Structure 1
Amino acid sequence: MRTDTLLEELGVSDLGEVDEQTFAGLAERHRRELHVHCYRMLGSFEDAEDAVQDALLSAWRRRETYEGRSTFRAWLYRIATNACLDLLAKHRPKPAAGGEVLWLQPYPDRLLDELPAVGADEPEALAVARETIELAYVVAVQHLAPRPRAVLILRDVLGWRAKDTADLLGVTVNAVNSALQRARAGMREHLPAERQDWTGGAEDPETRELVRRYTESCVATDVQGVAALLREDVRCSMPPTPGLHIGRDAVVRDWTESGFGDMEPLRAVRTSANRQPAIGFYSKDTATGDYLPLTLDVLRVAGGAVAEITTFHADRFARFGLPERLAA
């Protein structure tokens, strides 16, 4: 719906005439997609929350500047993008050695399900929506400078026209096209080598079986059982803790040295993050016998094996709706 129609329906000449409750209701319809947009820009769920809050507050304060020349949704995206750029201008963390993004946080699929549905008759749009929220994509985006990052997301993810992107950023169309070329080149440097290695989709039976075996081996703290499911070039990290391990031997050695194989059996609850399989693991509390949150593993599967394991701390559990404890 065009915003000039919206203004007409509201019976106002601009949004400066609406009250706070009405404005909040209009903005709330777009909160989740704005949050996902800011998450792509920033890589952090929590930073994205701050950016969206700042954007909606700014939109309310500047509501009289909205005159219906674009959609209300596009107007909010403009403000949210600028909120992200402002945040990055104040503090732009740099990836660690090996390309680790230590501020990376997972995005629960149960919240992604709140996004406006993409029709089955739009397979390309559906693929873009899935692929550009995966951790590999989000990590690669974090290596880009802020403005090329914004251009890439606006053009390739949201499908904005070059002119609209240029208007948002206050630059020329040529500058936008140049930034997009640089951004795409940067993405190729930081994404897995072949597209099929990182593109996602609905889990097939083979992937579900692999995740089941991975979960069972982890629950049994069977290091060699897990190792058999890993690709030779598997990557393993645990943001925000530094330390990227690349290769099956390096990963197994790290697990062995950390005493994983000597732990008591764990428990697990399946979930999903960033349109990827994920597992919440629980360890036994010796005082009560109950099982308490330990880690959240998000898996990237490629070629019938686990290609990447990103392990997050237990403080992510509540956002995924995972139990705070499992009874003995």
Structure 2
Amino acid sequence: MELKEFKITVLPLRAKLLNYARKLTDEPEDAEDAVQEALLKLWSKRLDLEQYRSIEAFAMTLTHNICIDLWRGKHTGNLPLDTVQAMAPAGTPERLLEIKDEIRLMHEIIDSLPTLQRTIMRMKDIEEYETEEIAEITGCGAEAIRSNLSRARKKVRDIYLQTIQERKRRNKP
């Protein structure tokens, strides 16, 4: 699909996507960001759009998934203490705070990843998408998905271990 056809087929969907995104997000700015990201993904997949029966349905699904990702990104970093207690029911209050701190650290590390690696890691490890689904949504090949996921996991592991070691060194008398 060339630019002219994209403008005729996809861009008119913007208003409908924006209305839908506003219903799914808390903030108008988030809705705007979600639609912009969806349009960028549609543009990057423009050569493959003809394989879909309904480009509009694909665009709506893409927008929906992006809005859900935005919502999860805002809400997963603020785990209530009862959620942490459910993860370690027999833990002492100190241990529960340690677990919550480790979860917060992991979210910070994941948020520091490059956008594509962060997106792929969240989709695969948190939302449990299959590689083929991630490839379809992101427009990357399956091998690129696996490579980016491997790099992201290694970087998260390395930063996490380095941070834990630094904390231990600081806490030594």
Name the one with the larger strand percent.
Answer: 1
TM-score class, shorter:
0.3 to 0.5
User: Could you state the TM-score of these two structures normalised by the residue count of structure 1?
Assistant: 0.28
Structure number having the greater helix percentage: 2
Q: Which has the larger radius of gyration?
A: 1
Provide the TM-score with structure 2 as the length reference.
Answer: 0.48
